[in-house]
Amino acid sequence: MEFNFDEIIDRRGTSAYKYDALFKVFGRDDITPLWVADMEFRSPQCITNALQGVLEQGVYGYSSEPAELFDSIHDWILAEHGWDVKKEWYTYVGGIVRGIAYAVQFFTNPGDKIIVQSPVYHPFTLVPEGNGRTVLRNPLRGRDMDFENLERLLAEDGVKMMILCNPHNPGGYAWSRETLQRLAALCAERNVIVISDEIHCDLYLWGGKHIPFATVSDEAARCSITFGAPSKTFNIPGLASSYCLIPNAILREPFYRWLGANEFNDPGIMSSIGAIAAFRHGRPWRDAAVSYIEQNILYIERKCAGFTDEQGRELIVPVRPEASYLVWLDCRRLLARLAGKRVEELRLEDQNLLVDYFVNKLRLGLNSGVMFGREGLGYMRLNVACPRKLLDFEFTL
């Protein structure tokens, strides 16, 4: 194999959050960390080579943004998603959560309402709430959006924004064009801005294709703010390299002026150089990583298929992701058993039994489902972007 995804890399003692925070979060650190969404793979060599050039010069002065940064992003998005993004739509941002926070602060006021579709990546709730905004939850119905409830929420006074996860985390759901069009029509009609977080868009599995939200209709182009990044795709979140795309000048121009005035959109030299190398030369690595991740998902599915109750029903049912490397494990049957209850009787406080099972019985650190909203009760999120050996555990009662 050209790339060695089986290599075990010792990240302990390297300020890797996934390892450093183990004790604080799980109460012990002798467990395999399969939580924080970065990969246990070495990033593509082309990126390291490019960064090495900067290190060798050894001068870390102020940098300007290379024109090549936008060009590399443009060419990547065009080749991958068929979207011909314009230079003026673009700005750099130093992270997507940060980008969402800027947008929340710029476009909404304390007390305004922001819709999210739970269970969802927790900063979608934490950022607005941390800034005094009110979060309205539109819980997903399995793999679908609940449009009836969404219409009801959109009709409330003070709704200014919706934060869309495209594709969705957790669950790895890819949204259909029709779903995105319907969403755009409803939000644009009420002048609600849609933040589309597309950080996982370059990790589609099983030959699937990503649909950028802004491309699905004129309404979507008008109401959307899209965030993307090479960070998940090439395992470089530590380089803080992300981008924002806003086709609508009425939204874009004042926002970008504000970002500029505050110097919120100046990349550091490593951010630019790393992102350019990734988008220009990282495709073969990405393709190979996706294949390896697919095999890991199948491996987990086989493990779950063998972990059944007396009636032969799976105690853990993995939701097969359409994108990215986070497997949403439906452990409700297992939790009901641990709690001595029926599935319908499970309560939020029962989730501790599930976390305890994974941490203390299996010695694994996964994200607890309820961290993504109460709809995550009975679920755990498993990160499979790791050498298969790390998944070499057995589910047992």
Ligand X SMILES: Cc1ncc(COP(=O)(O)O)c(C=O)c1O
The footprint of ligand X (CB under 6 A) covers: 37, 95-98, 121, 165, 169, 197, 199, 229, 231, 237, 242
Nearer to ligand X, 212 or 336 (CB): 212
245 within 8 A of 226, measured Cβ to Cβ: yes
For 165, left (φ over 0), alpha (ψ -120 to 50), or beta?
A: beta
187 within 8 A of 154, measured Cβ to Cβ: yes
Nearer to ligand X, 255 or 395 (CB): 255
| Shortest CB 286 distance to ligand X, Å | 17
203 within 8 A of 325, measured Cβ to Cβ: yes
Nearer to ligand X, 130 or 158 (CB): 130
| Shortest CB 94 distance to ligand X, Å | 8
| Shortest CB 129 distance to ligand X, Å | 16
Among candidates 132, 138, 167, which has minimal Cα distance to 151?
Answer: 138
Coil, strand or helix: which one is 324? coil
| Shortest CB 27 distance to ligand X, Å | 23
Indicate the DSSP class of residue 232. T
| Shortest CB 374 distance to ligand X, Å | 19
Nearer to ligand X, 198 or 350 (CB): 198
Which letter, b or e, does each residue of 349-369 get, where b requires 16 or more Cβ atoms within 10 Å of its Cβ?
ebbebbbebbbeebebbbbbb
| Shortest CB 95 distance to ligand X, Å | 4
| Shortest CB 163 distance to ligand X, Å | 9
Nearer to ligand X, 95 or 373 (CB): 95
For 247, left (φ over 0), alpha (ψ -120 to 50), or beta?
A: alpha
Nearer to ligand X, 43 or 231 (CB): 231
Nearer to ligand X, 108 or 196 (CB): 196
| Torsion angle of C-alpha atoms 3, 242, 144, 107, degrees rounded to 10 | 170
Nearer to ligand X, 69 or 97 (CB): 97
Coil, strand or helix: which one is 88? helix
| Shortest CB 342 distance to ligand X, Å | 33
Residue 123 tokens, joined: 């900063």
**CA count, 13 A, side-chain hemisphere, 123:** 10
Rounded distance, CA 9 to CA 167, Å?
A: 28
